[in-house]
Amino acid sequence: MDDETRNDEQDEVSDEISPADDEIAGGVETSESETPPLARVRYGLGKELRLYPDAFVVLLREEHEELRYSLANIRRIILTPGEYTPSKLVLMFELDDGNTVIAAEGMSNVRGFRTLLKRLDELHLPIELDPPDMDEQLRQALVIRSRYQMGCYGLILGVCLILTIIYLVVAFIGAHH
């Protein structure tokens, strides 16, 4: 690969994730030798997942913790809906030693996670996804969430309309008596 192509690829990555984002997000700076992440998923307050070419990093800014899981040690990625709130996803890693660790709880950034899955797929690693059609499941979750929100907005609009009609009927009856 020539230098010009390599520089173009680096510019694409740097356009997506800039060092200024780290400063805005909480003051954690990356070192000069550390490569920028391939994908970043922000969720909750000060939490994010980062995908690097060799590892997943779970960054918890409030707890000042950084958990690093080598991609070579991850056998399977499991994504389940939250126990009480299904839209808040739980991400687990099944490691090659048989242990399963919870990497992220309460993740709701589905769009960002779909981008992370696409970047992970580009690495061509032998990591299984559970469910196997995780990207399709996440797309459906986005559709369901938007329908749910439209239903909520429709319900609020309907209640306001009914209350307005009731008010007008009561005002009309009161004016004639």
Res 176: pLDDT: 82
Q: What is the rounded average pLDDT of the residues 45-59? A: 89
**Alpha carbon distance 123, 125 (integer Å):** 6
Q: Average per-residue pLDDT in the chain?
A: 78
Examine the pLDDT at 149 and tell me if it is beyond 60: yes
Integer Rg of the chain from CA: 23
Given the DSSP bridges, would you call strands 128-130 and 74-81 parallel, antiparallel or unpaired?
A: parallel
Where do we find the tokens 């490569």?
35
**Partners of residue 42 on adjacent β-strands:** 48
Q: Domain limits of the chain? A: 37-152
Res 43: pLDDT: 86
Distance of CA 45 to CAs 61, 63, 69, 81, 126, Å? 8, 11, 21, 19, 32
Angle, helices 134-176 vs 110-122, to 10°: value is 170
pTM for this model (two decimals): 0.61
What pLDDT, in 10s, does the model give residues 76-110? 999 888 777 777 788 899 999 989 998 888 888 88
Examine the pLDDT at 169 and tell me if it is beyond 80: yes
Across the beta sheet with 89-95, the strand order is 100-107, 89-95, 74-81, 128-130
Please state which CATH number belongs to domain 37-152.
Answer: 2.30.29.30
